[in-house]
Amino acid sequence: MIAWWTPQFHALLGGLVIAIGILVMWEHAVLFWALLVGAVATAFLLWKGRNIGTVWAWTTLGLGVESLTWPIVTMVQMRMGGSEPTEAQMETILNAVIFGLFTSVFWVTFAFGLFKRLREQQTPMAPATESAPSRKKKKRART
């Protein structure tokens, strides 16, 4: 039996995962901003998360968006330096683009799979109907 607080607990875990994701992906992220984004994500998950599956579908979608913004933020940070990027900075940008795009595609695809599964669980089963060719065969068999 699932307790009433279980989706709320998973929403807190989801917000924590998103906050940790920010700290892991962005080396120079300030802890305050990561916790603030985690708190906003937790509030969103508490609002939208009716069950555990919905909470984790939104969490993985958030991780996908977070992963997609990683290369963008890295490029903007390098550009704010003003001068041409060094070879080490270009390597950092390349790593961010490759791993950011790979992880964002993974997490967004995973999230869409979870959303599809949730949608299929919520739609009622349609009654089984006979197809047109099978009805014609039965009519021929009777004559």
Retrieve residue 136's tokens: 């014609």
- pTM metric for this prediction: 0.77
Is residue 129 a part of any domain in this protein? yes
Retrieve residue 46's tokens: 């508490």
Is residue 18 a part of any domain in this protein? yes
Is residue 127 a part of any domain in this protein? yes
pLDDT of residue 82: 75
Retrieve residue 111's tokens: 């999230």
Is residue 98 a part of any domain in this protein? yes
Is residue 1 a part of any domain in this protein? no
Of residues 141 and 48, which shows the higher confidence score? Answer: 48
Of residues 99 and 2, which shows the higher confidence score? Answer: 99
Closest among 35, 40, 72, 87 to 59, alpha carbons compared: 40
Closest among 104, 123, 124 to 112, alpha carbons compared: 104
Spatial distance between the Cα atoms of 124 and 53, rounded to a whole number of angstroms:
18
Range of the domain at 64: 6-142
The pLDDT tens digits of the residues spanning 5-39 come to 788 999 999 999 999 988 888 777 788 989 999 99
The domain total for the chain is 1
